[in-house]
Amino acid sequence: MTDPASLPPRRGRSLPLSIFGIVLALVGLPLVIGGARLISLGGSWYYLIAGLGLVLSGLMYAGRRRAGAWLYALVFIGTLLWAFWEVGLDFWQLVPRLVGVIVLALAAALLHPLLRRPDRAGGNTPAFTVAGLMVLALAGFGVLMFQPHFTVRATGDMPSAVPAAASGRDWQYYGGDAAGTRYAPFTQIDKSNVGTLQVAWTFRTGEPAINGAEDQNTPIQVGDTVYLCTPHNQVFALDAETGEQRWKFDPKASSPVWQRCRGVGYYDAGASMQNAPAGAACRQRIVLSTIDARLIQLDARTGRPCAEFGNGGTVDLKAGMGEVKPGYYFQTSAPTVARDLIIIGGWVYDNRAVDEPSGAVRAFSARTGELVWAWDLGNPAIVKEPPAGGSYTRGTPNVWSTPAYDDQLGLLYLPTGNAPPDFWGAHRSKAAEEYSSSIVALDIETGRERWKFQTTHHDLWDYDVGTPPTLYDVPDGKGGTVPALIQGTKRGQIFLLDRRDGTPLAEVKEVPVPQGAQEGDWTSPTQPYSVGMPGIGTKPFTEASMWGATFFDQLWCRIEFRKMRYEGDFTPIRSDRRTLIFPGYYGGMNWGGLSVVPTVDYLVINDIRMPQWGRLIPRQETPDPAQAASVHEGYAPQEGTPYGISKNGFMSPLGVPCHAPPYGTMTAIDLKTRQIAWQAPISTLEDTGPLGIKTGLRIPIGMPTLGGPLTTASGLVFYAGTQDYYLRALDLYTGKELWKGRLPVGAQATPMTYVSPESGRQFVVISAGGARQSPDRGDYVVAYALPKGR
C-alpha cells in the first residue's frame, strides 16, 4: 500500500500549479540567457543564478512538487540579500530588483495550500501570513512611489535672511538683470499665499512649436508692457496687467533647423535722443535677432522698425561670415544689450563640418547698428570688419548662449562653445584649443580680452558652455564679499571665479582622466574639476547603476553597459565600439541658467542626468550627409574629418533611461558653506512613461529638466521646465513643493515675474509651447497672480 504522505496533490489542483510553474520558467529563461551573456562580459552572476533557480522551481511547480516552493523561497531570499548588498536602501534602485520577485512570492504563497498533501488538514496560516506580508510590501512600494525621495534633505536649520531689497525692478533682461541672477526682489507672493495663485491671463501667439521648433522664450517686462518672441521670431507686446496684445511684428524669419527664440533685448535710447522732438519714434527699443541671422530694432511703443538702425531697422549678421548655408549660422539666444552696445554671438550647425561660419562675437551700436568692435579669437588683429573679400576666422568656437556683464568693471563674460565638429579635434587650431568650452572676459568698450578660463580641455564630448554665467558677490568668510562669476557646466561642475581676473575662488584641480583617443586624435591627460564646489549629478556609473522598469530591461541595460567603453568621465570616443558619455552632452546644466538669492546667499540649480553613447564612423562607412539626423541624435557627418559620429540616448527597449533615477533635480547650494542645502527630484511621470505612453501617475521620479529657475525674496523657487505640465513653486529653504498650476501643455522656458505698475499685483509668467520630446504642442503664454484683493 502507498504511503499517502508521498502522494502528489490531487489532480484537480494541478492546473494553477502548472500555470504558475510555466510562468516561473518563462520569467527565468531570459534571465538565464541574458545572465550568461552578462557574465561573459564580466558582469554580475545574479541573473544567471536567479534565472536557473526560477526555471527549476517552475519545472517543480509544474510537476506538483513541493520542492519548487522551497527553491523559489531560496531565490527570493537570495534576491533580497543581493539587492540590499548592491544598492542599499536606494528606493528607486530597489524597485526593479524586488517588485517582480515580491509579486511572484505573493502568487507562490497563495498557491502553496495546493501543494499540501491530501492526508493533511489545515496548515494554511503560514502561507497566508507570507501572502499578507507580500501585499504589505507591495503596498509600501506603491505608497513610496508617490513620495519625493530627496537626494539631500534640508537639515531644518533655516539660514538667516537679510531684508529683501525694495521691489519695483523691471525684468529687462533674459536673466532678469545684466548679472543673470534670475532673482526678483518681490515678496507679495510668499509661502503663506502661493497656494492661492490662479491664472490671471492667457495669451496665444498663433504659432505652436511644431515641426522641430521649440518654445524656449522667457519674456521681458519694461513698465506696463511684456515683450516676447516665438520660435520663428514673431514679437508681441502685451499689456502687463491684462495680457492683451498691443502690437505684433513678424520678420518672416525661417531656418531649416533649430527654430528657437529664447528672448529679446531692450534698449533705452532716451539719453542719446535728448534733442529729438517730443514724440519721436524709437526712444525705447526692442532688439531682436532672428533664425536667419538678422538683427532688428523695433519701436517699443509701436512695434515698427527703427529706421535709423542699420538698413531700415535691420543689420545683416551674415556680413563678414563668408559662406553661410541655410541653417548653418544664426542666433537663438537673446541679444545682450550693454551700455549703448548690442553684443551678438551665434549658433552654428553642430557636427556637420569643419568648415562652418566663424564664432566671432560682434558689438553693434544700439543707436545706429554700426559695427563698433569684433572679437575674432582666430585672428585678434581683426577688431572690426574682416579685410575686403575675407571673412572672420571660420570654424572657431562660438558663443551661442547668453553672456553676462558687469557695468562697474566694464567686463562682458562670454560662455564659449566648441570648434566644429564636437567629437573630433585633431584639426583644431591653437586658438581653438585655448578658447573652446571656456568663459572669456572682454572689455565691453573695446572687445579686447581681459582673461579666460577653460572648463574642458580639448573637448571631444560636446561639453560646450551653454549655461549663462551668473554674477554675484559671494561671502568671503571674513564678513566681506568677493565679486564672483558662477559658471555651471554640462559636466555638472560649478566653477566659482573671481570675475575681475578669472582666478578660482573655489579650488580647481587638474585630475588625470582616461586616455586612448582614436588614432589621429588625442586627449588631454588631465581635466579641470571644481573640487571646492559640489558637483551636481556627477557620480560615475557602475553596472549596479543600471536600471529598468522590469527585471528584463534592467538586465538588457546591464548587458549594453558592459558592451560599451566606459572608464568614467572623459572616456574617449572611438570607432571600434560605442562609448558611454556621462555626464551627457545635454547636461548637467544647460542654457536655462542658475539663480542666486542674495537674501540668504543661496544658489539654485536644475540639472539633467541623461547619458548618451557615441561611436566614430570611419569615413568610408559613413552614409550620405543628406541622411544625417537631428542636431544632437543619430548620425552626423563631421565633414572634413576622417570620421562621422553616431550618437543617441542610452535608453532601454521600453523607452526608459538605462540608469537609475532621478533624471533631473533641483538643488540649493549655500554659498557661505559651499555645501548642498537640499536636493530634490523634480517632475513626475504624469505626462510621460514607458514607450512614450502617458501614465497619468504623479510619481515624482525626477525627470530631465530644461529652462531655469526663478527665485524671489519671499523664499520661493518657481520652475516649469519639466516633463509634466506644471508651473511649480518650491520652498527655497527645504525644496518641498508648495504649489503647482496645471499648464495646457508642457514648458521648456524659464519663468519670469514682475509687479504691474497699474495694479501693484505681482505676476509670474511662463511661456508654454510643449515639453521637450512631448507630442503635445501649443502657443501659450500664461500669467499667474493672487486673486484680486489678496
d(CA 204, CA 769): 10
Could you give the C-alpha distances from 669 to 5, 321, 596, 679, 697, in angstroms and in order? Answer: 68, 42, 9, 9, 30
Q: DSSP 3-state assignment of 202?
A: strand
| Grid cell of 142 as nine digits | 506603491
Active-site residue, 462 included: yes
d(CA 488, CA 607): 10
Handedness of CA 22, 23, 27, 28 (dihedral sign): negative
Contacts of 100 (CB under 8 A, 6+ apart): 27, 550, 551
Of 462, 601, 607, 779, the catalytic one is: 462
Contacts of 527 (CB under 8 A, 6+ apart): 456, 457, 510, 511, 513, 569, 570
Handedness of CA 201, 205, 211, 212 (dihedral sign): negative
Are 218 and 234 a contacting pair, CB within 8 Å? Answer: no
By C-alpha distance, which of 341, 373, 379 is closest to 358? 379
Handedness of CA 147, 765, 346, 626 (dihedral sign): positive
DSSP track, 665-692? EEEEEETTTTEEEEEEE---STT--GGG
Contacts of 621 (CB under 8 A, 6+ apart): none
φ, ψ dihedrals at 760, nearest 5°:
80, 5
Quote the DSSP letter at residue 393.
Answer: P
d(CA 476, CA 544): 40
Handedness of CA 450, 454, 460, 461 (dihedral sign): negative
**714: amino acid identity, one letter:** S
Positions marked active-site: 462
